[in-house]
């Protein structure tokens, strides 16, 4: 069977952050959006000892960028190279900014594991984090969204939708637990364990939601391994638990390491913003349309 043609998404691509000398000299990539906020994964390299992940928040309303330091007192001590909170997906819930992310030291396992967290009312610091136990390890790229005023996440690798249920412990504190909401029946071109999550789902109309998903290609050549991320547009009916469409594969800005991690949909303008990290070094935004995600050449 021939390999499908990989198209280039019709879009306008630009850097998310400029070259303002006031911006700290960190590495910024893999952004996620929940209007008016954009989270950008921020890496501070501490010599050759370790990399600390911080959460930078760009506020579109006032144009400010704030680097929120890692909440060490909320995570376990670690001597690992990768530290902090990684690859968050942010979302608005009950007038607060929340996130689902991964960390290697939210538990003692030292695996990359899922967590849920919440910022304070001024989005200046992280006031709450908690491990999310999905029952399998490690997990990454589990993407949240709000449906019927509840928090849900989609695991496109296992084609499973979870509801994040809130309860209280013996001390009266809120605790969060994922429970299976629906298994997603795949459509033509989609199989279980074939795609991984990229963006949070966005509501299209009725019961129909859509998100960008990805797979990666590794090629060994002359004793070197090259890596490329390939994206797809996927749609699903949340009430029927069915994937209804998956597009042909595409790239956004380049062939190679480009990781789509965020999305915004402006229905009134028929405009979609895709946020991505390029080469794990640069945060990028691409403007496109829903029809181009579906079938654009």
205-260 pLDDT tens trace: 999 999 999 998 876 565 555 678 999 999 999 999 999 999 999 999 999 999 99
- Does residue 166 fall inside a structural domain? yes
Domain residues for 120?
9-17+27-295
CATH number at residue 46: 2.115.10.20
For 42, the token pair is: 């921020």
**Looking at the 3D structure of the chain, how many domains does it have?**
1
pLDDT for res 224:
58
Q: Give the mean pLDDT of the chain.
A: 92
Q: Strand, coil or helix: what is 295?
A: helix
Alpha-carbon distance of 39 to 99, in angstroms, equals: 9
Mean pLDDT of 13-34: 89
pLDDT digit string, tens, across residues 145-185: 999 999 999 999 999 999 999 998 878 788 999 999 999 99
> What does the pLDDT look like over 57-83, one tens digit per residue?
999 999 899 999 888 889 999 988 999
Query: Which one-letter DSSP state was computed for residue 293?
Result: H
Q: End-to-end CA distance of the chain, in Å?
A: 21
Q: Is 61 left (phi over 0), alpha (psi -120 to 50) or beta?
A: alpha
Contacts of 258 (CB under 8 A, 6+ apart): 229, 251, 252, 276, 277, 278, 279, 284
Q: Average of pLDDT values for 2-27?
A: 85
Asked if residue 181 belongs to a domain, the reply is yes
Residue 235 lies in a domain: yes
Using CA atoms, how far residue 98 sits from 57, 151, 160, 223, 279, in Å, is 12, 10, 21, 43, 27
Q: What pLDDT score does 1 carry?
A: 43
Evaluate whether residue 38 is within a structural domain. yes
User: Is residue 239 domain-resident?
Assistant: yes
* In-domain check, residue 1: no
CA 273 to chain CA centroid, Å, is 14
Name which of 273, 112, 250, 257 is nearest 199 in CA terms: 273
In a domain, 22, yes or no: no
Among the listed residues 70, 68, 128, 127, the one whose alpha carbon sits nearest the alpha carbon of residue 104: 70
Sign for the CA dihedral angle at 80, 84, 90, 93 comes to positive
| Residue 2, domain member (yes or no) | no
Please report, rounded to a whole number, the percentage of residues in the chain having pLDDT higher than 70: 95
Task: Tell me the mean pLDDT in the region 9-33.
Answer: 90
Could you read off the pLDDT of 29-40 as tens digits, one per residue?
999 999 999 999
Q: Is 43:30 a contact under the CB 8 Å cutoff?
A: no
């Amino acid at each position: 069977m021939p390999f499908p043609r990989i198209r280039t998404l019709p879009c306008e691509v630009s850097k998310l952050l400029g070259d303002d000398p006031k911006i700290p000299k960190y590495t910024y990539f893999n952004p996620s959006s929940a209007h008016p906020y954009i989270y950008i994964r921020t890496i501070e390299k501490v010599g050759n000892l370790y990399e600390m992940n911080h959460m930078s928040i760009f506020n579109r309303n006032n144009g400010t960028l704030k680097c929120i330091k890692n909440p060490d007192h909320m995570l376990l001590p670690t001597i690992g190279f990768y530290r902090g909170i990684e690859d968050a997906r942010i979302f608005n819930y009950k007038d607060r900014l929340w996130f689902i992310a991964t960390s290697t030291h939210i538990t003692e396992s030292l695996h990359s594991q899922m967590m849920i967290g919440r910022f304070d009312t001024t989005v200046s610091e992280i006031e709450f984090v908690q491990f999310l136990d999905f029952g399998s390890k490690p997990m990454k790229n589990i993407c949240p969204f709000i449906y019927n005023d509840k928090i849900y996440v989609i695991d496109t690798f296992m084609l499973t939708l979870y509801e994040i249920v809130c309860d209280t412990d013996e001390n009266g504190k809120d605790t969060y637990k994922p429970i299976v909401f629906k298994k997603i029946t795949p459509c033509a071109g989609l199989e279980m364990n074939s795609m991984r999550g990229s963006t949070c789902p966005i509501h299209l109309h009725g019961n129909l939601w859509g998100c960008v998903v990805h797979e990666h290609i590794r090629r060994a050549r002359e004793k070197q391994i090259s890596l490329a991320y390939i994206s797809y547009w996927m749609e699903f009916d949340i009430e029927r638990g069915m994937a209804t469409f998956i597009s042909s594969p595409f790239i956004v800005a380049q062939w190679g390491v480009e990781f789509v991690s965020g999305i915004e949909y402006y229905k009134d303008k028929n405009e979609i913003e895709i946020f991505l990290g390029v080469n794990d070094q640069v945060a990028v935004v691409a403007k496109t349309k829903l029809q181009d995600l579906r079938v654009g050449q």
